[in-house]
Amino acid sequence: MRTLTDEDLWRLARPTSLSLSPDGAQAVCAVTTYDMAANQGGASLWLLSTLGGAPRRLTQCGERDGEPVWSPDGRWIAFVAKREGAEAKDAAPQLHLIAPDGGEARRVTNLATGVAGIKWFPDSKRVAFISWVWPDEKGAKAQAKRLKALNDSKVKAHVVEHTTYRYWDHWLSDGRVPHLFTVSIESGKVHDLFEGTRLQLNLADPGKTSYDIAPAGDEIAFGFNPNPDPRLIDAESLVVLKLKSGKSRTLAPATSRSFASPSYSPDGRWLACIEQEVVANPMAPTDAVIVDRATGEKRRLAKRWDRSVNAPLVWADDSASLYTTAEDNARTHVVRVPLGGGNPDVVVRGGTVSDFAVAGDTVVATLSFVSTPQMIVTADLADTQSAPRRIERFNDAAFANIRLGRVEEITFPGWNNEPVHGWVFYPPNFDPKKKWPLLHVIHGGPHLPAADGIGYRWNNHVFAAQGYVVLHVNYHGSTSFGAAFTESIHGCRGMKEHADIEAATDFMLTRGFIDPDRLVATGGSYGGFMVAFMNGRNGAKRGGDRYKAYVCHAGILDWIGKFSDDAFLARAQQLGAFYWDDPDKIAEQNPVTHVKHMKTPTLVIHGLLDYRVPDAQGLMYYNTLKAKGVATRLVHFDNENHWILKPQNSRLWYREFFAWLARFAPGGGGKR
């Protein structure tokens, strides 16, 4: 037996995009695998039986074979891929079809602007999809010509006047917007449903949950931002478009609440969607809402439940309930939401369910736990007593002969003595009679949980295998513990979370096996903000900072400087004011306010393509610590965004991470 390494994570298969055959007997999914030497990944489609039997590969591992969707008549599986043909390689992903019993895939589209977010029409003769196009151009040829001119141009500049001009790691400055299309699978004829209108989908990476097709195939519903200058913080209206006439109408207008991820009921009466307060309280839970298509009357489901629901919303065949995923106490489950009232009931219990599909009484789900890689399970919805059953063994070989340490859940008094949840990951060779270093891993978000699920980018078992007791805290602001807990940090970022982290350290020190001279803290994104916040706040205390080192990945040093990010208008919602309206309020929440007290050695890691926390934040932090004479080291990736997504970059990340901690707080058990 051996311990888990970071390279083991890249040997794990990662299944996504589940779809069930109409009879529920088979599932299809995309499985991504990685090659460390080639420094890239590839994906293939696999068939899995929900009745028993070994999985079968449907396509060879290609570039981005993904988004498989079974046709309603069961004859075809549509998917999106970039393939090499007789003449040339696809420049953009295209729609392909393959029969479930195998054979050669057939490419349906040849669209220069590409295909994404596919969904079948009920008659199995057409497929809807999303493509980013210029709204002032008409027809595929004109779009292709415009794209070629853009790519061939010697001028590479971004000229904008609109508010949303970057998102995550790419620019939105070339004038293209996401439109909905249809294509005939027989003729290949493509039709832009939004051509000649100002309709468009959300600019924030729209996908197949952004729209839905009516059971009669005559109407499409989608979320639409009516603002002439669409912003990421705006509310969206629920709009329906009649395909024959091309006329659209607003079924649920945007107010302070937004409507997204529509889903038609099988009987055609209802449109379900996710409703969220985006103006007064963006941190509030998202609700499942049904809208009467005839009257526009809205009804919120699970009124007394203060947990958020997620996309997609999937209807039961009898139109009497909805299936979705929801977080609760650091887990994500598949739940059934009844239309008749009452709170949801769990049908597949997490861990973390990252994807699911339903057909009749069969559900399949992608599920993981903190100590278990992703697996695909199935369950019988008609038999509530039966446990989910695993239907593949993709990761058994890669995870064989690996010894993991024990994982413990703790609850301790945090800020204001309120109960706070956390996870403790122990080294595989842990001996409580020895003294061990404590490693805080502070999660990002902040409105995310430290969850019961596999970590690919930051893995607590890999950290623990280096000889650290790892602490992963669900500080105030974390989701899945109720609305009040999530919303409690509005306008006071850093303070309650800091109190929770310090209380967790105190709690662990009382247990006798933590070495107080080997305390370290690390965090990414909002977790990176927290370690910068702690560096200044703790440094100002009498006796200085008790942590020996920090790692700050994609962290925030200055909220004012972060106004250069892609979601800058959300800062006022989160911090309670724009920086020019209430400078003192911002300063209280700002790590840069306490720079003069920073003295703890810090490893700073950042990616050039990070537009959520622009890399100037990391460079400013590194330069600041250098100017102050504080030990610091910079790792800057030119080809990464907010995350480290390339295998060899990840390997370097872990090497730098471990080496930095070992300089100041070496791992391993020591004498008491």
Q: Does residue 409 fall inside a structural domain?
A: yes
CATH number at residue 445: 3.40.50.1820
Q: Is residue 253 part of a domain?
A: no
Question: Tell me, what CATH number does 15's domain have?
Answer: 2.120.10.30
Contacts of residue 128, defined as CB under 8 A and 6 or more positions apart, other chains included, come to: 118, 119, 120, 121, 180, 181, 182, 211, 213, 220
**Residue 305 domain flag:** no
- 487: in domain: yes
Cα–Cα separations (whole angstroms), residue 453 to 234, 394, 450, 672:
31, 17, 9, 33
What's the pLDDT tens digit per position in 133-183? 999 999 999 999 999 999 999 999 999 999 999 999 999 999 999 999 999
Q: 486 is written with which tokens? A: 């999530």
Decide which of 43, 73, 107 is a domain's last residue: 107
Spell out, as residue ranges, where the chain has pLDDT lower than 70: 61-63, 85-88
Domain-terminating residue out of 58, 79, 107: 107
Q: What is the per-residue pLDDT for 87?
A: 53
pLDDT at 305: 87
Q: What was the pLDDT predicted at 62?
A: 67
Best CA proximity match to 222, nearest among 180, 191, 257: 180
Q: How far is CA 56 from the centre of its chain?
A: 28
Record the tokens describing residue 113, joined without a space.
Answer: 């602007």
Q: Is residue 58 part of a domain?
A: yes
Of 107, 135, 161, the residue that ends a domain is: 107
C-beta atoms surrounding 650 within 10 Å = 23
Kindly report, residue by residue over 613-662, the tens digit of the pLDDT.
999 999 999 999 999 999 999 999 999 999 999 999 999 999 999 999 99
Amino acid present at 190: V
What total of structural domains would you count in the chain?
2
Say what the pLDDT of residue 365 is: 98
pLDDT number for residue 591: 98
The predicted structure's pLDDT at residue 556: 98
Cα dihedral 50, 56, 61, 65, rounded to 10, equals -40
Q: Is residue 552 part of a domain?
A: yes
pLDDT score, position 56: 95
- Give the domain extent around 47: 1-107
Residue 429 is assigned to a structural domain of this protein: yes
In a domain, 556, yes or no: yes
